[in-house]
Amino acid sequence: MRVVNLSGALFDRVFNTYKLMHTYQTLDFVKQKHLEWANCNHFSMSMMENIDCLDELVDESDPDVDFPNSFHAFQTAEGIRKEHPDKDWFQLVGLIHDIGKIMALYGEPQWAVVGDTFPVGCKFQNSIVFRNSTFEGNPDGKNPALNTEFGIYEPKCGLDNILMSWGHDEYLYRVMKFNKCTIPEEGLYMIRFHSFYPWHSNGDYMHLCNEKDLQMLPWVKEFNKFDLYTKSTELPDVGSLRPYYQSLIDKYCPGILRW
């Protein structure tokens, strides 16, 4: 999450979302969510239909904007398109990176869908947002086996082998893999770890990273520039942009997908 000066009702909304997240996102909880969602047996729809569904959602963890997520999707994609016109897969990642949030429209509380992510199964690092005031109720923090630097993991085991707090990043990554979408590995890392701010913005959890993670980190950082700083109240003309982005969907993740 970008560090901002929050106040009043907006602060309360953001803080309360993280308080719930940091209380209930445990190792056991994450394992359960993988069982519930990673098999992609909840519903079927196209990528663009999912993007349209985001109009029903306002992210309770986001301090920057207070309008539906679909506008942010096109803002992000267009920001990337201007600076990376030769990387159509990167533009598509900008469009779809948040659409795993559709879980919130299918019964998941927002604290299990939105917001910054962090590893479970090892010590909660200090760079996690609201670290000092929101984890008191999380039982993993009191479990000696889970409260060391490595916890249940091996040094340099790689982020592929880490269980992250459950949310829209990991869910969409699982959807991409399940449906055999052809977005390059760099794009899949952007999708899977764009909310992992303690890693890509604060340099934490490097002791768990392998060489592949370090090679992919610059791509995640590059994506983050557009994810954060394309948010504005100047909303894009979505209707005129749809045909172009539909062509990218048809190229990399066509047809009806299972979610």
Residues at the annotated binding site for Fe cation? 72, 97-98, 168, 194, 227
List, in order, residues 6 or more apart from 33 with CB less than 8 Å away. 112, 166
Binding residues are: 72, 97-98, 168, 194, 227
Rounded CA gap, 38 and 153, in Å? 21
